[in-house]
């Protein structure tokens, strides 16, 4: 499971395959902190290459869901402006 979106990196090449690597659920504050790792492509990720970039963001307020499944996390990410045009893999 991943998101597909081409985002330029500091290496001069875009990361195109984004995988959720961390979700922190703050039940009291009603927020999810999410980190994704960006790879050149799925093959690079499967070969256990280092990510080219890390994206971090937050889901809070009306979008917050308590203890979401991984599939729900990806769906929540796609509601954010940074990921609105991403395709699901």
CB 60 within 8 A of CB 76: no
List, for residues 35-88, the tens digit of each pLDDT value.
999 999 999 999 999 999 999 999 999 999 999 999 999 999 999 999 999 999
What gap in Å lies between CA 37 and CA 17, rounded to an integer?
8
List, for residues 2-17, the tens digit of each pLDDT value.
999 999 999 999 999 9
Look at residue 65 and give its three-state secondary structure: coil
Q: How confident is the model at residue 1 (pLDDT cuts 50, 70, 90)?
A: very high
What gap in Å lies between CA 27 and CA 29, rounded to an integer?
6
The per-residue pLDDT for 48 is 96
């Amino acid at each position: 499971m991943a998101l597909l979106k081409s985002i330029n990196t500091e290496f001069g090449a875009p990361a195109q395959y984004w995988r959720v690597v961390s979700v922190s659920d703050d039940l009291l504050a009603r927020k999810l902190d999410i980190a994704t790792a960006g790879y050149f492509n799925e093959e690079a990720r499967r070969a256990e290459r280092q990510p080219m970039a890390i994206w971090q963001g937050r889901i809070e307020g009306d979008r917050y869901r308590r203890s979401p499944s991984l599939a729900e996390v990806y769906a929540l990410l796609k509601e954010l402006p940074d990921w609105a045009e991403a395709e699901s893999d």
